[in-house]
Chain A
Amino acid sequence: IAGITQAPTSQILAAGRRMTLRCTQDMRHNAMYWYRQDLGLGLRLIHYSNTAGTTGKGEVPDGYSVSRANTDDFPLTLASAVPSQTSVYFCASSEQPTSAHEQFFGPGTRLTVL
């Protein structure tokens, strides 16, 4: 593994189903982030984690939850998917949360909720 991996690459999901998007990094970065990308809206922060064991809400957290049990993994869960959650989801990491370090992004998960 080099950098950030996300799984699955894409998924079609029925409304009401539960779904977990996986994210793993091998750079030992402290901070991790989940974004959704929608046409015309750019990237919007869903949740973040400054370090293992802590999480926080971003700009659009409703309907999503995260956990950070260790440094490497940062899964995003949709408890009961709705069509408005159709989007491309990106996981990212940075070395520290309180510095000017750039973010590294995964390849994304394209999610369609029907």
Chain B
Amino acid sequence: AQSVAQPEDQVNVAEGNPLTVKCTYSVSGNPYLFWYVQYPNRGLQFLLKYITGDNLVKGSYGFEAEFNKSQTSFHLKKPSALVSDSALYFCAVRGLTSGTYKYIFGTGTRLKVLA
């Protein structure tokens, strides 16, 4: 069965420091991995995705994520956090389930960047 785990409910980081939001996954076959961000009272917005190729994926707003096949992880990173990065972040995996490609979302990690 496919699954996504975000082990941290909340991550706090000081402005200007690097941030990491963790995600591990379980999927049969090759995974398609995604990160989305949700600001208060808004829908989710796409940040970046890994399909194939380079393990380091760059996305919107200076975010990047590293695909690690051996650790089945896809952690979201940013070298220098901004207060405006404070939001809810979701990791998602897309794979084949019962003949249909479906997304499975993690439970989300709330990022708080402190000024």
Contact = CB atoms under 8 A, between A and B. Distances in A.
Interface of A: 4, 33, 35, 40-45, 48, 50, 56, 58, 90, 92, 97-100, 102-108
B100 interface: yes
Contacts of B108: 42
B46 A103 contact: yes
Given A42-B90, A42-B108, A104 B46 contact: yes
Contacts of B103: 33, 45, 103
Contacts of A103: 36, 44, 46, 103
B102 interface: yes
Interface in B56-104: 90, 94, 100-103
A105 B102 contact: no
A41 B34 CA distance: 18
Given A43-B90, A58-B102, A97-B101, A102 B43 contact: no
Interface in B4-63: 32, 34, 36, 41-46, 49, 51
A102 B102 CA distance: 11
A107 B42 contact: yes
The interface size bin for chain B is 20 to 34
Nearest to A94: B103
A114 B64 CA distance: 43
Given A48-B102, A92-B44, A105-B36, 16 more contacts: A4-B43, A35-B105, A41-B107, A42-B90, A42-B108, A45-B102, A48-B100, A50-B100, A56-B100, A58-B102, A90-B43, A90-B44, A92-B43, A98-B101, A103-B103, A108-B41
B43 A105 contact: yes
Contacts of B102: 45, 48, 58
Contact of B49 (A45, A98, A102): A102
